[in-house]
Amino acid sequence: MSGRESQMAALVAMILVAMSPAPASGQDVDTRVRNAGADQVSFRFATWPEVERCSSGWMRRGIRENRGGGLNRDLDCWSGPAEVRLEIRGGEVRSVDTEIVRAESAPDDRWTSIGTVAPSEAADYLLDLAENADANVGEDALAAATMADGVETWPRMLELARNGGLDRDIRTAATFWVGQASADQVLDGLRGLVDDPDTEVRQAALFALSENQGENAVPLLMEIAEGDGDPDVRRSAFFWLSQKEDPRVLAFFERVLRDGGAS
């Protein structure tokens, strides 16, 4: 091929690229799901390294360890991407099922796959879905969102937990996942939820505080146990403190009893 022919071939290739439509990956996840035109749609995204699928079901390793006992390493477990499977009826998502699959496995051919999406895009889609879907769908979407690699979902979870217009089950589920963030920066948000008008949200916030591994979670529970204006909240705070293996708790109980006990 002559030099001129090579130049012409290169120009033609450039023109063809310029005329090609934008790839589907340039669209957000919701658009790609809707454009799939199917009642069963799936997509994959990368998960945190500590997320595993075991023969007994998937779990996030940190949660299991925080609740005591650690993981049973005799189980058949593996890490891999999450595959989210959506059942769609009348243009609305009716169910969300998430599995941790082996990276080399092919997508389940019963679902129309839109491929792999960025973890941040997957989390945004799932959190939006939780905010707008019914409680059953929303709770499953929240759980799936927490698995997105490198994405801190707790700020958005906190927004959902504070939203009094959402279903109570969505708010309490979001509160639970805020507590699992195990960071002191979530404590102010959880403390605010302890004063929520909804009793179940208040109790969920106390449980979330009990699960939080931040250094200041125990002192905050002590503050609530001793000084909150709601006797039920104080009693719950004392209960969750009693479940803590923390020397500060015993010293706190001794002081409270010495000073006359809690009302």
Domains and CATH numbers, the chain: 24-151 (no CATH), 182-263 (1.25.10.10)
Give the lowest-confidence range in 61-65, 126-130, 174-178. 61-65
pLDDT in tens, 131-144: 998 888 999 999 99
Q: Which of 160, 196, 166 is nearest to 178 (CA)?
A: 160
pLDDT in tens, 184-194: 678 888 888 98
Q: Say which amino acid occupies 16.
A: L
**In a 3-state reduction of DSSP, which class is residue 1?**
coil
| C-alpha to C-alpha distance for 114 and 225, rounded to whole angstroms | 50
pLDDT reported for residue 209:
87
pTM across the whole model: 0.71
Average pLDDT, the chain: 81
Q: Which of 131, 62, 136, 124 is nearest to 97 (CA)?
A: 136
pLDDT in tens, 194-245: 888 998 998 898 988 888 777 788 888 998 888 887 888 888 889 888 888 7
C-alpha distances out from residue 102 to 44, 52, 54, 117, Å: 11, 10, 11, 16
Residue 117 pLDDT > 90: yes
Strands 51-54 and 92-100: unpaired
pLDDT reported for residue 2:
54
pLDDT-derived band of residue 1, with 50, 70 and 90 as boundaries? low
Mean pLDDT across 253-263? 73
| C-alpha to C-alpha distance for 213 and 181, rounded to whole angstroms | 8
